[in-house]
Copies of this chain bind each other. A is one copy, B any other.
Amino acid sequence: MSILVVGSVAFDTLKTAYGEREKILGGSATYFSLAASYFTKVRVVAVVGEDFTGEHENVMKARGIDTTGIERAAGKTFHWGGEYGENLNEAKTNFTDLNVFQNFSPRIPQQYADTNFLFLANIDPALQLQVRRQMPNVKMVGGDTMNLWINISREQLTETLKEVDILLINDGEAKLLAGDSSLPRAARKVLQMGPRALVIKHGEYGATIFFRDGAHPFRAPALPIDEVQDPTGAGDSFAGGFMGYIASQDKLDRSVLTKAMFYGGVMGSFAVERFGTERLQKLTTEEIGNRFELFRSLTHLE
């Protein structure tokens, strides 16, 4: 099966306790597609500028990712600058140069039309809906969002959420979206907005999936990582592992969803071990399998 992701392909300039990097490859669609590429065929819709080189694109191509949908526009690629202090779950943004992203109007290439799964990474909910409407026949739609859109585009976001099957957000976003400081209550309120399932990501504490039909929630742990060199992209990599695993399966039941939660955590944990997408570029099936088993043993009750 195949999955299409729409989101940002960007450059990041970062500072963490482990060092600094300038203009390295980043963006929600990049992290997502690299993580998902270990499970299924991935197609990307995004926009980049003239400073996006063949070398950058080859990072994705080397993982078999279909980059036909990456549009080249005049100008510079979206560039984010930020740093992390003691609290690795919260980035301090130094600058956000939207550049070519400012006029992004996602178009789905003809050859992407038969895609089975869709992931709407964290971009303007109006653009998310625009893509969703161009892909009416997908089997399942996953989505992400952030505080910015909850604060400035709540109405638009509410429309988009009606057409998302599984929403993946973090604790703070869930509470803000629901206007409720109790996580399980917030989860129920968000599920009333449309999604059939809600994955709340807890950073180093793992993630919990809640279901609209009242099925019992499920929590997957995050591996305690010794050295989190760069937390950027952890959530997108979680989404890539989660959606990628789902897209690789024939059915979508609780057993698949719970394993997908583990694979999400696995890919998120790899992403943060090195700066940028470095670790996600060259994983082996064995490394992924071993970490899955490590996660399983972390919560396995004898």
Listed in ascending order, the chain A residues whose CB lies under 8 Å from chain B are 17, 86, 181-185, 187, 202, 204-206, 208, 216-221, 224-228, 254-255, 258-259, 262, 294, 296-302
Contact = CB atoms under 8 A, between A and B. Distances in A.
A219 B182 contact: no
Contact of A217 (B17, B218, B298): B298
Given A205-B205, A206-B205, A218 B185 contact: no
Query: Lowest 4 A-B CB distances belong to which pairs?
Result: A205-B205, A184-B224, A255-B302, A299-B299
Contact of A184 (B17, B205, B218, B226): B226
A120 to B, nearest CB: 26
A190 B259 CA distance: 33
Contact of A302 (B86, B185, B217, B254): B254
- As for how many copies of this chain the complex holds, the number is 2
A298 B219 contact: yes
A208 B205 CA distance: 10
A172 to B, nearest CB: 11
Main SS at interface, chain A: mixed
Contacts of A187: 224
Contacts of A182: 225-228
A299 B221 CA distance: 8
A205 B204 CA distance: 10
8 contacts: A182-B225, A183-B204, A187-B224, A218-B298, A259-B301, A296-B301, A299-B299, A299-B301
A219 B184 contact: no
A301 B183 contact: no
A217 B299 CA distance: 9
A259 B184 CA distance: 24
A294 to B, nearest CB: 7
